[in-house]
Amino acid sequence: LSWAISNQKLKMTTYSIGVDLGGTNLRIAAVDEQAQLLEKVTLGTQVTLGRDRVMDDMGAAIRRIADKYERKASLAGIGIGVPGIIDMQTGMLRESPNLPGWADYPVRAEIEKRLGTRVILENDANAAALGEKWLGAGRDFDDMAMITLGTGVGGGLILGGRIWHGMTGMAGEFGHIAVEPEGHPCGCGSRGCAEQYASATAVVRMAREAIATGGASGLLRTTSSDPEFSAKAVYNLAIQGDEAAKEIFRGVGRALGIVLAALVNGLNLPIYVIGGGVASAWEAFSPSMFAELQQRSMVYAAAAPPVPAVGAREASAQLEPRRSGKTIITRALLGTDAGLYGAARLALQGG
């Protein structure tokens, strides 16, 4: 009997639990080593209910999943993607614009207390990059960089298949590379950061600026309080041919082109992936992005694929140049699941 049990245990599949703690949603997935999604849960927990409530709900949901698979699979670990700056040593969330009231909160210790087991904490943009590397646009590459265009602009660097943290865990802040030396003030304390020109928040601000200067009647209708939604409305106007809206996305493309030129010149990686909600506006910003990049990066110009792809369908075709050593700039493939899969992957990798 004991042989039968241990044999059964050997055959058990290994899985991990990934958590994406967003500013609005809390999502949890159980994923096995073969990248098979076992379960995906979205908790309607409102961050405004406070961090204790969010932590309690998260802990309970993780425990429910762990209990459910206890006899069927072996849990490798739990990975949690958190928006904001994380102290990797202490597991403290230092600062998070999307989670007000969570500054200097010991997220890792609090969740470990509720679960009675170790968890791995990671910045959400880093987790998204690892997810795209594992199962998305970067799956055929060991090294890649990702830029995530959401409410802010995040970034993640993958080297040798693992997240590059840098000395203090803060590597990959591509959104704070300056694209306008004396430009718009940024929440980070600097000016003219990419985040001020290529995020959903920036798209809305630039739309308001265009309205203020007059002659942008189409944009008047787009103002609303939700940056992600409003940025989408500006994009819809742009694809309908509204000149003011098109110019905003040309600006997004120029900002991204400058950031990409810095990354390509500095890192010479085989692939750069653009994700996040604003990446859906690829058709509106990518022509000016590629033009700017081509002009500003000799490294890119020397290794650019013949014709930059436009649109998601071309993304797989664009992966072709890897055999000829061409630099690939492409859209992310996993959408909002990238961070969730990345968090699960972290736990499978053991950090």
CB-CB contact of 338 with 275 (8 Å): yes
The structure tokens listed for 221 are: 């209708």
Helical axes 243-267 vs 227-239, angle rounded to 10° = 110
Q: Measured from the CB of residue 149, what is the shortest distance to Zn ion in angstroms?
A: 14
* Structural tokens at position 189: 């304390």
Binds Zn ion by CB under 5 A, chosen from 27, 108, 176, 254:
176
Q: Which stretch binds Zn ion (CB under 5 A): 74-82, 95-103, 179-187, 270-278?
A: 179-187
Q: Which stretch binds Zn ion (CB under 5 A): 43-51, 187-195, 271-279, 289-297?
A: 187-195
Closest C-alpha among 181, 185, 162, 186 to residue 172: 162
- Interface with Zn ion (CB under 5 A), residue total 5
- Taking CB under 5 A as the rule, which mask of x and - marks residues 12-51 in contact with Zn ion? ----------------------------------------
Least separation in angstroms between CB 191 and Zn ion? 8
- Residue pair 63/19 in contact (Cβ under 8 Å)? The answer is no
Minimum CB–partner distance for residue 94 and Zn ion (Å): 15
Token pair of 307, please?
A: 């014709």
Smallest gap from residue 103 Cβ to Zn ion (A): 17
Answer for which of 146, 186, 269, 278 binds Zn ion (CB under 5 A) is 186
Nearer Cβ to Zn ion, position 176 or 232?
A: 176
- With contacts defined by CB under 5 A, name the span among 5-13, 122-130, 170-178, 198-206 that binds Zn ion: 170-178
Task: Indicate which single residue of 55, 80, 125, 193 sits in contact with Zn ion (rule: CB under 5 A).
Answer: 193
**Measured between alpha carbons, how far apart are the two ends of the chain, in Å?**
36
Of 99, 62, 91, 90, the closest CA to residue 77 belongs to 62
The tokens for 187 are 């929440």
Minimum separation from the CB atom of position 173 to Zn ion (A): 8
Q: Is 170 in the site for Zn ion (CB under 5 A)?
A: no
Least distance from Zn ion to the Cβ atom of residue 175, Å: 7
Q: How far is the CB of 67 from Zn ion (least distance, A)?
A: 43
DSSP bridge partners of 15 = 32, 75
CA 233/CA 219 separation, integer angstroms: 9
Closer Cβ to Zn ion, 188 or 301, answer by number: 188
Please tell me the distance from the alpha carbon of residue 172 to that of residue 260, in angstroms, as a whole number: 13
Residue selected from 190, 236, 268, 349 as contacting Zn ion according to rule CB under 5 A: 190
Stretch that binds Zn ion, among 8-16, 153-161, 178-186, 296-304 (CB under 5 A): 178-186
Stretch that binds Zn ion, among 173-181, 240-248, 284-292, 293-301 (CB under 5 A): 173-181
Strands 120-123 and 162-163: unpaired
- Dihedral angle over CA of 44, 47, 50, 54, nearest 10: 50
Task: Please give the Cα distance from 96 to 79 (Å, whole number).
Answer: 18
| Residue 85 is a binding residue for Zn ion (CB under 5 A) | no
188 binds Zn ion (CB under 5 A): yes
CB of residue 199 to Zn ion, shortest distance in Å:
10
Residue range at the interface with Zn ion (CB under 5 A); choices 78-86, 186-194, 260-268, 313-321: 186-194
One-character DSSP codes across 16-60: EEEEEE-SS-EEEEEEETT--EEEEEEE---GGG-HHHHHHHHHH
Token pair belonging to 229: 């939604």
Minimum distance of Zn ion from residue 164's CB (angstroms): 20
Q: Give me the residues that bind Zn ion (CB under 5 A), please.
A: 176, 186, 188, 190, 193
